[in-house]
């Protein structure tokens, strides 16, 4: 499994939690305690409602996603 700057980018300044999916791509929880969102650098999936969830809900959703996602798309653009 080869990681790239796309699937494992530099940590953003507002990073709260970084998880990794089944193949090592970063799944980031960013924002603030009461306004957090998640984004998967493997497949591009993200929070349905950006920055509306408190971090505990966002963390659970991101972790559920990371546990199932097997994508490591190297040239995905936001």
The yes or no reply on residue 43 touching Zn ion (CB under 5 A) is yes
Per CB under 5 A, the segment of 5-13, 31-39, 45-53, 54-62 that binds Zn ion is: 45-53
The yes or no reply on residue 42 touching Zn ion (CB under 5 A) is yes
Sign of the CA dihedral running 63, 14, 32, 41: negative
Closest among 53, 32, 33, 76 to 21, alpha carbons compared: 76
Q: Specify the residue, 15 or 34, whose C-beta has the smaller distance to Zn ion.
A: 15
Instruction: Provide the binding-site residues for Zn ion, judged by CB under 5 A.
Output: 40, 42-43, 45, 69
């Amino acid at each position: 499994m080869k990681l790239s700057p796309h699937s494992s980018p530099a940590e953003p300044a507002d990073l709260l939690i970084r998880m990794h999916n089944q193949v090592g791509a970063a799944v980031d929880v960013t924002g603030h305690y009461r306004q957090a969102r998640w984004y998967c650098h493997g497949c591009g999936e993200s929070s349905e409602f950006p920055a509306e969830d408190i971090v505990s809900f966002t963390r659970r959703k991101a972790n559920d996603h990371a546990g199932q996602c097997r994508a490591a798309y190297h040239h995905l653009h936001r």
